[in-house]
């Protein structure tokens, strides 16, 4: 049985990782030259987003080839085959680094196989791909079969999100200050998706928080297509520090589609650095990222 590995860009709950024997590499969140979140550094959502509100300006650091090589060497005896599912190459250079590190490890250990899958998404989108990898592994699918399915379907993992406070995006470097000021004055909420290259794209501007959350359900309805029944397996809704809004969204999804299997969690510091506390984001299977 192959070993599944992801990174903290997937924002999967620790109990899910532990229960399903999933390894995790860590990108770092850095403030004043000190790592405040990453491998061995836990920071609660409440504490992290409080720091952002109080003016903290953290940065993030990708996994480098040496980090990846060291990780695989440390865990090399846990399996003969490994599957790494990583944060979108459109958002980070981590996947490229892991490819380099894994190649060095396989050269040293020719009896080991490491497959690398670029999720082309992040947070619950990346996490959703991991849950399907777990499902396929549990069904007895091979490493090759699972990796091939993930690559073929990565662009069918759709991720959509909205934020309540445009200044969250300004602090994360995603919009200009003038856009944040003007948008906040008229209660504009950006609706953002991940495109086919794994980049964030604002596709709609909606007036009012509730309408922006309702549009998550509308977007899902418009884009599920033939994957509607497949989404009964799992949909993921994450949030920064906006649990009531996330619960509202999850409830709306349940009532509209009849989906009961909805995983919920926090957007961690690695992603939250760029999006802020008010983010609510959903991931599901669908036809096209548009």
Residues 210 and 225 in one domain: yes
Residues 39 and 150 in one domain: yes
Question: Can you give the pLDDT at residue 42?
Answer: 87
Mark which of 154, 170, 185 sits at the end of a domain: 154
Residues 136 and 166 in one domain: no
pLDDT band per the 50, 70, 90 thresholds, residue 168:
low
Residues 144 and 160 in one domain: no
Question: Can you give the pLDDT at residue 183?
Answer: 39
Mean pLDDT for 32-55 is 91
**208-247: per-residue pLDDT in tens?**
999 999 999 999 999 999 999 999 999 999 999 999 999 9
Residues 113 and 221 in one domain: no
Residues 177 and 143 in one domain: no
Question: Can you give the pLDDT at residue 288?
Answer: 87
Tokens of 193: 């998706």
Residues 134 and 196 in one domain: no
Residues 11 and 150 in one domain: yes
Domain CATH code at residue 214: 3.30.1180.10
Residues 188 and 122 in one domain: no
Mean pLDDT for 8-24 is 97
The C-alpha atoms of residue 200 and residue 188 are separated, in whole angstroms, by: 18
CA distances from residue 209 to 135, 161, 242 in whole angstroms, order as listed = 35, 12, 12
Number of domains in the chain: 2
Question: Can you give the pLDDT at residue 101?
Answer: 98
Residues 162 and 108 in one domain: no
Q: Is the pLDDT of residue 197 over 80?
A: yes
How many residues make up the chain in this entry?
290
Residues 46 and 84 in one domain: yes
Of 213 and 172, more confident: 213
Tokens of 26: 């860590």
Q: Is the pLDDT of residue 250 over 90?
A: yes
User: What range defines the domain where residue 88 resides?
Assistant: 3-154
The answer to whether position 29 is within a domain reads: yes
**129-162: per-residue pLDDT in tens?**
999 999 999 999 999 999 999 999 999 999 999 9
The C-alpha atoms of residue 92 and residue 28 are separated, in whole angstroms, by: 12
The backbone torsions φ and ψ at residue 37, rounded to the nearest 5 degrees and listed phi first, read -155, 135
Question: Can you give the pLDDT at residue 167?
Answer: 57
pLDDT band per the 50, 70, 90 thresholds, residue 290:
confident
Total Cβ atoms within 10 A of residue 146: 24
Question: Can you give the pLDDT at residue 181?
Answer: 34
Mark which of 154, 176, 192 sits at the end of a domain: 154
Mean pLDDT over all residues of the chain?
91
CA triple 263-265-271, angle to 5 deg: 125
Domain CATH code at residue 118: 3.40.50.10170
Total Cβ atoms within 10 A of residue 225: 11
pTM for the full predicted model: 0.93
The answer to whether position 290 is within a domain reads: no
Q: Is the pLDDT of residue 182 over 80?
A: no
- With contact defined as beta carbons under 8 Å apart, do 59 and 101 qualify? no
The answer to whether position 71 is within a domain reads: yes
Residues 21 and 114 in one domain: yes
- With contact defined as beta carbons under 8 Å apart, do 67 and 176 qualify? no
């Amino acid at each position: 049985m192959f070993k599944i590995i992801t990174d903290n860009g997937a924002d999967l709950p620790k109990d899910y990782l532990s229960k399903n024997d999933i390894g995790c590499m860590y990108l770092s969140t850095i403030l004043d030259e000190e790592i405040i979140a990453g491998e061995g550094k836990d920071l609660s959502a409440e504490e992290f987003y409080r720091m952002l509100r109080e003016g903290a300006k953290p940065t993030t650091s990708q996994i480098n080839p040496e980090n990846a090589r060291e990780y695989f060497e440390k865990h090399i005896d846990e399996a003969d085959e490994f599957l790494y599912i990583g944060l979108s190459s459109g958002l980070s250079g981590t996947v490229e680094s892991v490819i380099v590190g894994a190649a060095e490890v396989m050269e040293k250990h020719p009896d080991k196989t490491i497959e690398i899958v670029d999720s082309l998404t992040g947070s619950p989108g990346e996490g959703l791909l991991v849950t399907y990898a777990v499902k396929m592994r549990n069904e007895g699918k091979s490493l090759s079969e699972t990796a091939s399915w993930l690559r073929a379907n990565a662009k069918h993992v759709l991720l959509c999100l909205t934020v309540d406070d445009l200044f969250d995006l300004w602090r994360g470097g995603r919009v200009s200050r003038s856009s944040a000021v003007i948008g906040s004055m008229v209660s504009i909420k950006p609706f953002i998706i991940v495109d086919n290259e794994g980049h964030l794209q604002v596709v709609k501007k909606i007036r009012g928080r509730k309408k922006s959350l309702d549009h998550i359900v509308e977007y899902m309805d418009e884009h599920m297509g033939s994957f509607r029944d497949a989404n009964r397996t799992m949909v993921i809704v994450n949030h920064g520090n906006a649990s009531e809004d996330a619960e509202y969204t999850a409830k709306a999804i349940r009532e509209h589609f009849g989906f009961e299997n909805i995983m919920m969690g926090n957007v961690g510091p690695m992603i939250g650095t760029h999006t802020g506390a008010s983010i609510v984001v959903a991931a599901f299977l669908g036809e096209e990222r548009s």
